[in-house]
Structure 1
């Protein structure tokens, strides 16, 4: 159970003695106000909570949603899955920055982030129950849209803790750990489903319950000081659409960081979305035979991402530079796409996937730290800013199925070489965009 602020506890506006000056803003001020330092325990519980969130969100996205659609609509499953997944992606796109902004303006006695992190997980778990018991596609789609909205509300509030609570000295290492969490969440959720089976409610309940417990432990540990209404701007209806926009002219460094990730993730989405069809159309696999290759590719991708993410984050803290790692990661992505584009064997395909994992880990290991350093109004609008930044990952997943057929159709149907060369170009453009950032090293 969350506890309210005790009488006499320090608040952000409480005067401090001359002997213990509080920095005017940033992680040091919050640490002083809450009495909670960002130490090994804090970081460990935070990363475990982040993994738990991804287990709850990514297991349906990667496994159980498609199985449930196939159960309800075996003949038209491909079209139905596309419709439901697209609707869910749109809800995620809107929910992340909007709930981030609402979290920024929260005056709850439990703090700004805790109600949204825990509330999003609890209600998101309820949405998973709706999906698991859905009698038809409409209810299933409604459940998935709710799950995307609610888990992204939790994600927006949780991501804001990086610029708010972690000092720049350790931001690269924490960013590197955060970069590993998505792949760990996907692999963990897929592994968990092997025990629950794929024809019962538990394939939705188990990942959601595990994620809820992992997040709940961190929320119980996290200390926040309530913000007063006088400290925050008034919430207006116009803030809702504005929460999805940060002026690129006024904040060019943030805009270039956003564009860099958007371009790179568009290229990556070509690989992740079409790798199964590549195996079948280019290398001659059947759908059944491709399954173990896809498993190995996912395992290789997760392993490479995990290793390179933490390594890049640690090194970026050591040399006090971020841009060089993010730009280099985009170049590694581009090389991976070229390898996949020219692959004529399973071995070369897996090599390309492995190189892609190294690039993805290097990118994710540092880019959160990079954007945190150029985030506009980070002291008052951290969740909004990180929510807008997260759109650079969500939008590519939505538009890649629209763009990809244009490249596949070059010179005839099934031109995967053109698709992945285009992906390499997108990644290269992403590296160039990062180089244009001026307010960070």
Structure 2
């Protein structure tokens, strides 16, 4: 056997081609401004379709059908729907990873998910009873979270590492933009009839279709993907936290900070009424300004943090700073006895939240297990850290409120600060990202 010359380049020594680099080579499609713009608008579209009913129109529909028991009916519908959302995200993410459609792995789930979401929202709009609303909302959560799973996976699939902070920053503001857009849409569609459900959903479908038509994907073959049976499919959703510690720490950090966020958002109205002594009408007026301040903080901070993290090529420091900022905002609220103090705390918390969401998708995309073949599953599992705190926060809040005889909002928001600070400590344990 001939001995290779010392100056002969070794193929084994070449750095492996990353997923985004390979996708660009195979599709010939760079990730430029048009790509990013359509991508972010598609995410906004899905959130408009999902968050408009979640925050406004679902409650209105339930109030029409069950005026006397609307509070308990809404809790039932949203609680069961949240379970379907948590399960469907990783499940459809995994199905997207394994898809061999001629249209690619992501596009069928993006378009199909939103199209099915339109139909399920029509079911809610024409529902004659609360059980039918429950069915429609569960189908909506499944369909639109299938689209979310496929869309979020485009970040690790296609966006190069050096641009992920900027794109993550844009993704971080999509929830706030969608909530504001949804509020204005309801004013346009009215608060009765099919329009308040169908119009946001159709807008979402149009925006997703625009991106899906632009996106170029090379179909995967069976030989390129893991072989799974239906029996082994549930087991394939598991990500071992001991084997993939960086992913586990990222998940836990997001979960802890989001528990604090859920405590703020869930109990802000009662804080104004019970702690500051506002009437329900006055509290409702103040909440409009509260959400505006929070939204501005999130939108500005997410974009600035994402851009800066690309510039300095650091992710972890922003996550740690964001967690501490959010915790500081919670401390300000906990110790405030005036509306000014409350709004200052909300502003600080908004900057912290925005900084966090501006970077965390970029961070987790770098520590995903099996990101070449399982990116959507991994991102879907990570998204459970968004949904689970919405169930955990209301369950644990009464424990803190009961300290000292009840209505102890100082203890509640100090605990929220504690969750955020522990989230910052946990983020320091991530080793695979700077």
Q: TM-score range by the shorter chain?
A: over 0.9
Q: Does 1:280 align with 2:273?
A: yes
Distance in 2 (alpha carbons) for counterparts of 1:239 and 1:216:
33
Distance in 2 (alpha carbons) for counterparts of 1:115 and 1:23:
29
**Structure 2 counterparts to residues 235-314 of structure 1, below 5 A:** 235-314=228-307
Q: With the length of structure 1 as denominator, give the TM-score of the two structures.
A: 0.94
Q: Does 1:36 align with 2:38?
A: no
**Structure 2 counterparts to residues 287-436 of structure 1, below 5 A:** 287-436=280-429
- Which range moved further: 275-284 or 103-112? 275-284
SS state of the match for residue 224, structure 1?
A: coil
Distance in 2 (alpha carbons) for counterparts of 1:409 and 1:429:
23
SS state of the match for residue 403, structure 2?
A: coil
Distance verdict in 2 for CA 1:439–1:339, change over 3 Å = same
- Coordinate RMSD, CA, aligned: 1.4
**1:22, distance to aligned residue in structure 2 (A):** 11
Contact 1:266–1:423 (8 Å) recurs in 2: yes
Distance in 2 (alpha carbons) for counterparts of 1:244 and 1:410:
39
Distance in 2 (alpha carbons) for counterparts of 1:239 and 1:215:
32
- Which range moved further: 165-174 or 343-352? 343-352
Distance in 2 (alpha carbons) for counterparts of 1:128 and 1:347:
40
Q: Does 1:98 align with 2:91?
A: yes
Distance verdict in 2 for CA 1:72–1:250, change over 3 Å = same
Distance in 2 (alpha carbons) for counterparts of 1:83 and 1:49:
30
Q: Deviations over 1:303-352 (max 9, x none)?
A: 11000000000000000000000010000010011111122122221111
**1:31, distance to aligned residue in structure 2 (A):** 0.8
Distance in 2 (alpha carbons) for counterparts of 1:335 and 1:238:
47
Correspondence for 1:227 among 220, 230, 244:
220
**Structure 2 counterparts to residues 112-151 of structure 1, below 5 A:** 112-151=105-144
**1:287, distance to aligned residue in structure 2 (A):** 2.1
Distance in 2 (alpha carbons) for counterparts of 1:413 and 1:85:
26
- Which range moved further: 185-194 or 283-292? 283-292
Distance in 2 (alpha carbons) for counterparts of 1:287 and 1:57:
27
Contact 1:378–1:385 (8 Å) recurs in 2: yes
**1:234, distance to aligned residue in structure 2 (A):** 2.1
**1:235, distance to aligned residue in structure 2 (A):** 3.0
- Which range moved further: 393-402 or 279-288? 279-288
Q: Does 1:165 align with 2:165?
A: no
Q: Does 1:202 align with 2:195?
A: yes
Distance in 2 (alpha carbons) for counterparts of 1:46 and 1:24:
23
Unaligned runs of 5+ residues in structure 2 are: 1-10
Contact 1:303–1:357 (8 Å) recurs in 2: yes
Correspondence for 1:86 among 51, 66, 79:
79
- Which range moved further: 129-138 or 282-291? 282-291
**1:243, distance to aligned residue in structure 2 (A):** 4.7
Contact 1:84–1:141 (8 Å) recurs in 2: yes
Contact 1:98–1:243 (8 Å) recurs in 2: no
Residue-pair matches, total:
422
Distance in 1 (alpha carbons) for counterparts of 2:116 and 2:53:
15
Distance in 2 (alpha carbons) for counterparts of 1:236 and 1:35:
34
Contact 1:179–1:306 (8 Å) recurs in 2: yes
SS state of the match for residue 178, structure 1?
A: helix
- Which range moved further: 345-354 or 239-248? 239-248
Q: With the length of structure 2 as denominator, give the TM-score of the two structures.
A: 0.95
Distance in 2 (alpha carbons) for counterparts of 1:58 and 1:284:
30
Unaligned runs of 5+ residues in structure 1 are: 1-17
Distance verdict in 2 for CA 1:244–1:89, change over 3 Å = farther
Distance in 1 (alpha carbons) for counterparts of 2:25 and 2:145:
29
Distance in 1 (alpha carbons) for counterparts of 2:258 and 2:212:
30
Contact 1:340–1:353 (8 Å) recurs in 2: yes
Distance in 2 (alpha carbons) for counterparts of 1:243 and 1:157:
17
Distance in 1 (alpha carbons) for counterparts of 2:186 and 2:285:
16
Distance in 1 (alpha carbons) for counterparts of 2:432 and 2:416:
28
Correspondence for 2:176 among 173, 178, 183:
183
Contact 1:305–1:358 (8 Å) recurs in 2: yes
Distance in 2 (alpha carbons) for counterparts of 1:80 and 1:240:
34
Contact 1:271–1:420 (8 Å) recurs in 2: yes
Q: Deviations over 1:133-162 (max 9, x none)?
A: 111000001111111111000000100010
**1:104, distance to aligned residue in structure 2 (A):** 0.2
